[in-house]
Amino acid sequence: MKKIYKTRIIVEVLSEEPINENFSLKDIIDEMTDGEYSGTVDQKKPSTLMGKTAANAIIRQGSDPEFFGLDINGKEI
């Protein structure tokens, strides 16, 4: 059975103004590195998703399980 790895990356930002809603993650990291923001990035240990659980997680993100070679039931295609 195919494995899909789920990794959470948490970005915490301190700024004097709210972050521009049009900023990408790259924009925010650039501001933390060379700009006006202070921040940290914390990566959590990956978890393994398989089968229907993997397919449901992919669908919840607005993607199609076929992107990872799965059908909607989590079976390899």
| pLDDT value, residue 36 | 96
Strands 9-14 and 3-6: what pairing?
unpaired
With respect to residue 12, please indicate whether it lies within any of the assigned structural domains: yes
With respect to residue 32, please indicate whether it lies within any of the assigned structural domains: yes
* Domain span at 64: 3-68
How confident is the model over 16-39, as pLDDT tens digits? 999 999 999 999 999 999 999 999
- Kindly report whether the global pTM for this prediction surpasses the value 0.85: no
User: H or E stretch including 12?
Assistant: strand 9-14
Domains in the chain, number: 1
Cα separation, 77 vs 56, in Å, equals 16
With respect to residue 52, please indicate whether it lies within any of the assigned structural domains: yes
How confident is the model over 56-73, as pLDDT tens digits? 999 999 999 999 999 999
Number of DSSP helices (H) and strands (E) in the chain, helices first: 2, 4
With respect to residue 76, please indicate whether it lies within any of the assigned structural domains: no
